[in-house]
Chain A
Amino acid sequence: MSEKLLMKGNEALAEAAIRAGCKLFFGYPITPQTELAEYMAKQLPKREGMCLQAESEVAAINMIYGAASTGKRCITSTSSPGVSLMSEGISYIIGSDVPCVLVNVQRGGPGLGGIQPAQSDYNQAIRGLGHGDQHVIVLAPNSVQEMASLTGEAFDLADIYRMPCMILADGALGQMMEPVDFGAHTPREIPEKTWATNGHKNARKHNVVNSLYIAPEELEKTVLDRFERYAEIEEKEVKYDTYLTEDAEIVVVAYGITARIAKTAVRMAREQGIKAGLFRPITLWPFPSKELKALAGTTKAFLSVEMNMGQMQSDVKLAIDCAKPVTHFGRTGGMIPTPDEILIHIKKAVGGDN
């Protein structure tokens, strides 16, 4: 095993991106992700790369669009309000089938909101990152280690499926320091980028990167082709983690930072004789629906825990066809739930006394 380093989540993600061969960063500073851009600004010029602070998030995402079209690995990072600004560009990138990695270190919203950790951009990431029929792959790390290892994976997934991959983190993961091992991700085989607009040198037909299709028949075909790819991703790329779910009567569903707090609550519940378990989606899109549905056969109830007002709850209900009750507990606006609070809701969900 390689040596572990102590790093902030933002910095670990940046370092992992550079190690994954990403030499291009375009972004605009915003708390709580600024250390990521800062790290890139310090490191990339020394490591054959380039970091550019754009004049706005709108500019940054369009720089990413251009860089991604050349087939080079590139990344941008921002926090919640910045993603809203990037949304048009993200849709263009999706419509053009070019790969890139997007990072959202979420903070409380709506509006300018606050700067403390939140998960209230779940729906935006899963359902509304841009206009049009579209998905992006969304990965939810739960530790500084995963901030690093899922970044390598994000670049691989983006390249393999020619689409953006988003890392949906939050302010706590971005700011906290933990040990990280950069050897934890094994790179995957990447198909040759024959589509890239990187100069044809009169040796091949020139490539076009474009999201404009005036003829509806033609546009429909690009969308249908893309959804075939989405189906393949849903089949092959679902990632999740479970803890004590085999005999669980109550399954807590949580991702990211909330999942580890929920894990403590599950452990506390077990100590009190409550058969609780934890299901942690690592890919939020594709959502691990099949795996949750299988659990619906054995457990009595689900409790969805997030740092928002219940955005994932409906996905849990859909996954299990509402076969079992699904309740929600969450804190929002930058508040982090405590294990004790989650335990109270575990008890409520199993119908025991509080």
Chain B
Amino acid sequence: MAGILLAGFGGQGILFAGKQLIVAGMKNGKEVSWLPSYGPEMRGGTCNCSVNIDDEPIGSPLVTTPDILLAMNKPSYDKFVSKVAVGGTVVYDSSLVTPEETRDDIKSCGVPATQLANENGFPKLANCIMLGKLMKETGLFDREYFCESLRAASPRQSPSWAK
């Protein structure tokens, strides 16, 4: 179904966002895998995470040509945009990324996630806004279903992430 690459700075919640995708996928009866970049990246610097959601058992857990790229900073966008599969989708945080390289063979969607998160009083939930945009643009999961799945992961607060 989809190889998804999520990338950004350490601390933006990239790994958390990736985990929400596989939780939703697993509950939906799909085969899933989640592979983080580990080591020094986890403690700052760039961070990325490979997610596979498929009907078939997952082969390589490493996503090298993503169908969907979720980029939360410029270095990540610049590094991975050229690797996105033809016909794929890029979702980027337009408050942090101004795309220089653009491709006409992929769908490119920006959302000012960090700005929206700050304005709405949820500075740590830019990742969830990104996920919301990803759902809207790709239709990966049903909106209500994914909302429910995400709500189950949140610690008693009601994030206004549903953009």
Determine the distance from Cα of A32 to Cα of B64 in the docked complex, in whole angstroms: 21
Nearest Cβ on chain B to A195's Cβ, whole angstroms: 41
11 residue pairs A–B, Cβ–Cβ below 8 Å: A4-B26, A6-B23, A6-B34, A115-B39, A171-B38, A172-B35, A175-B38, A177-B19, A178-B32, A178-B33, A338-B64
Residues in B lying within 8 Å of A, measured CB to CB: 19, 22-23, 26, 32-36, 38-39, 57-62, 64
A162: chain B residues within 8 A (beta carbon): none
Choose among B22, B35, B59 the residue that contacts A175 (Cβ–Cβ < 8 A).
B35
- Nearest A residue (CB) for B50: A176
Does the CB pair A172–B62 fall under 8 Å?
A: yes
A257: chain B residues within 8 A (beta carbon): 61
A336 at the interface (CB under 8 A from B): yes
Does the CB pair B36–A175 fall under 8 Å?
A: yes
Determine the distance from Cα of A264 to Cα of B60 in the docked complex, in whole angstroms: 8
Does the CB pair A176–B59 fall under 8 Å?
A: no
Determine the distance from Cα of A338 to Cα of B59 in the docked complex, in whole angstroms: 10
Does the CB pair A6–B26 fall under 8 Å?
A: yes
Q: A177-B22, A177-B33 are in contact. Are A32 and B39 (CB under 8 A)?
A: yes
A171: chain B residues within 8 A (beta carbon): 38
Known: A6-B34, A176-B35. 14 other contacts (CB 8 A): A6-B19, A6-B22, A31-B39, A32-B39, A115-B38, A172-B35, A172-B61, A176-B61, A177-B35, A178-B58, A257-B61, A260-B60, A260-B61, A338-B62
B58: chain A residues within 8 A (beta carbon): 178, 260
A339 at the interface (CB under 8 A from B): yes
A339: chain B residues within 8 A (beta carbon): 59-60
A325 at the interface (CB under 8 A from B): no
Nearest Cβ on chain A to B22's Cβ, whole angstroms: 6
Determine the distance from Cα of A6 to Cα of B32 in the docked complex, in whole angstroms: 9
Number of A-B contacts (CB under 8 A): 57
Digitize A247-268: 1 where CB-to-B-CB distance is under 8 Å, 0 elsewhere.
0000000000100110111010
A179 at the interface (CB under 8 A from B): yes
A261: chain B residues within 8 A (beta carbon): 59-60
- Nearest A residue (CB) for B18: A177
Q: Which residues of A from 155 to 209 have beta carbons under 8 Å from B?
A: 171-172, 175-179
Does the CB pair A31–B38 fall under 8 Å?
A: yes
A4: chain B residues within 8 A (beta carbon): 26
Determine the distance from Cα of A112 to Cα of B23 in the docked complex, in whole angstroms: 35
B61: chain A residues within 8 A (beta carbon): 172, 176, 178, 257, 260
Determine the distance from Cα of A253 to Cα of B60 in the docked complex, in whole angstroms: 16
Determine the distance from Cα of A31 to Cα of B64 in the docked complex, in whole angstroms: 23
Determine the distance from Cα of A338 to Cα of B60 in the docked complex, in whole angstroms: 7
Determine the distance from Cα of A4 to Cα of B23 in the docked complex, in whole angstroms: 11
B64: chain A residues within 8 A (beta carbon): 338
Q: Which of A32, A257, A267 has the most CB of B within 10 A?
A: A257
Determine the distance from Cα of A115 to Cα of B36 in the docked complex, in whole angstroms: 13
Choose among B26, B36, B39, B62 the residue that contacts A179 (Cβ–Cβ < 8 A).
B26
Determine the distance from Cα of A175 to Cα of B34 in the docked complex, in whole angstroms: 9
Does the CB pair B59–A263 fall under 8 Å?
A: yes
Nearest Cβ on chain B to A13's Cβ, whole angstroms: 16
Q: Which of A4, A179, A264, A265 has the most CB of B within 10 A?
A: A179
Q: Which of B26, B32, B60 has the most CB of A within 10 A?
A: B60
Does the CB pair A264–B39 fall under 8 Å?
A: no
- Nearest A residue (CB) for B64: A338
Determine the distance from Cα of A150 to Cα of B57 in the docked complex, in whole angstroms: 19
Choose among A115, A178, A336 the residue that contacts B62 (Cβ–Cβ < 8 A).
A336
Determine the distance from Cα of A97 to Cα of B39 in the docked complex, in whole angstroms: 37
Does the CB pair A177–B34 fall under 8 Å?
A: yes
Q: Which of A32, A177, A257 has the most CB of B within 10 A?
A: A177
Determine the distance from Cα of A242 to Cα of B40 in the docked complex, in whole angstroms: 38
A338: chain B residues within 8 A (beta carbon): 60, 62, 64
A177: chain B residues within 8 A (beta carbon): 19, 22, 33-35
B23: chain A residues within 8 A (beta carbon): 6
Choose among A32, A115, A176 the residue that contacts B34 (Cβ–Cβ < 8 A).
A176
Nearest Cβ on chain B to A151's Cβ, whole angstroms: 19
Determine the distance from Cα of A305 to Cα of B61 in the docked complex, in whole angstroms: 17
Determine the distance from Cα of A159 to Cα of B95 in the docked complex, in whole angstroms: 59
Determine the distance from Cα of A171 to Cα of B26 in the docked complex, in whole angstroms: 23
B19: chain A residues within 8 A (beta carbon): 6, 177
Determine the distance from Cα of A177 to Cα of B62 in the docked complex, in whole angstroms: 12
Q: A257-B61, A260-B58 are in contact. Are A32 and B26 (CB under 8 A)?
A: no
